């Protein structure tokens, strides 16, 4: 029998002491899951003695998870509408229908449909005394046009230190995901964290959004390791 959220929450402190990794899988975001994620982040930061990062890390994780869940649900919505998400005409038509029809009630229903079809996000935390990262992985790919828009938002957000200013300057062409991307990067900048440590990685089968939080100069980022490996390959 599946454990209740309360039972899972009670086990978190002990699990964090025994391991430096924590993974959650879900096909939807609701108040129970948000509460569970907050509990993990709170206990993790308390264990690492960086409780000042709780609010920032929770906001970032929630944004990444919501973006991932919505992307998955939108893909299933297109399938149910008999539309090809990779076809420009179908995409335009489907997106218009999605915006008109979708609601909180539908989000719950489509969470169940995603679960039934094996479509989900993995929320993964990995931490040590020098830093941590949170990674949200969708087991669906992102289409090229959406990836281009995401990367444009990331590039544009580099020039801002205030989310309200970003919104006012981009209110005509910023969707929820675009605003969430900007929020994550601005939060990082305001904490003195290099926003380049926020990455979105896409493949033909999945999408990964990852944010790294160094605690000190000893932290070796995944990005720096990947860059070093690429340099070796070129050499």
For 146-172, what is each residue's pLDDT tens digit?
Answer: 888 888 889 988 988 888 888 888 766
| pTM of the predicted model as reported, rounded to 2 decimal places | 0.89
* pLDDT higher than 50, residue 125: yes
- Stronger pLDDT, 77 or 1, i.e. the higher one: 77
For the chain, which domains are there? 19-230 (3.30.565.10)
Higher pLDDT, 2 or 102: 102
For 171-197, the pLDDT digits (tens) are 666 555 678 889 999 999 999 999 999
DSSP state letters, the chain: -PPPHHHHHHHHHHHHHH-SEEEEEES---HHHHHHHHHHHHHHHHHHT-GGGHHHHHHHHHHHHHHHHHHHHHHHHHHHTT--TTSHHHHHHHHHHHHHH--HHHHHHHHHHHHHTT--EEEEEEEETTEEEEEEEESSPPPHHHHHHHHHHHHHHTT-S-HHHHHHHHTTT--HHHHHHHHHHHHHHHTT--GGGEEEEE-SS-EEEEEEEESSTT---HHHHHHHHHHHHH-
Model confidence at 9: pLDDT above 60: yes
pLDDT at 12 over 80: yes
Q: What integer pLDDT is reported at residue 1 of this predicted model?
A: 44
Computed over every residue of the chain, the mean pLDDT equals 88
State residue 57's pLDDT score. 96
Of the two residues 183 and 232, the one the predictor is more confident about is 183
């Amino acid at each position: 029998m599946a454990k209740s959220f309360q039972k899972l929450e009670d086990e978190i402190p002990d699990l964090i002491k025994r391991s430096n990794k924590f993974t959650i899988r879900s096909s939807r975001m609701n108040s129970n899951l948000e509460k569970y994620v907050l509990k993990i982040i709170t206990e993790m930061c308390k264990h690492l003695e960086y409780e000042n990062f709780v609010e920032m890390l929770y906001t970032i994780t929630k944004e990444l998870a919501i973006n991932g869940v919505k992307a998955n649900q939108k893909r299933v919505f297109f399938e149910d509408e008999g539309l090809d998400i990779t076809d420009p005409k179908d995409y335009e038509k489907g997106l218009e229908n999605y915006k008109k029809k979708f609601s909180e009630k539908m989000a719950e229903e489509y969470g169940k449909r995603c679960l039934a079809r094996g479509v989900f996000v993995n929320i993964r935390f990995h931490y040590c005394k020098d830093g941590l990262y949170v990674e949200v992985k969708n087991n669906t790919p992102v289409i090229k046009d959406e990836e281009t828009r995401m990367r444009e938002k990331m590039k544009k957000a580099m020039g801002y230190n205030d989310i309200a200013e970003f919104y006012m300057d981009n209110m005509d062409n910023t969707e929820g995901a675009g605003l969430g991307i900007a929020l994550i990067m601005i939060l990082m900048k305001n904490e003195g964290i290099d926003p380049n440590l926020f990455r979105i990685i896409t493949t033909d089968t999945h999408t990964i959004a990852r944010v790294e939080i160094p605690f000190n100069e000893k932290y070796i980022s995944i990005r720096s390791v990947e860059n070093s490996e690429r340099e070796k390959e070129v050499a």
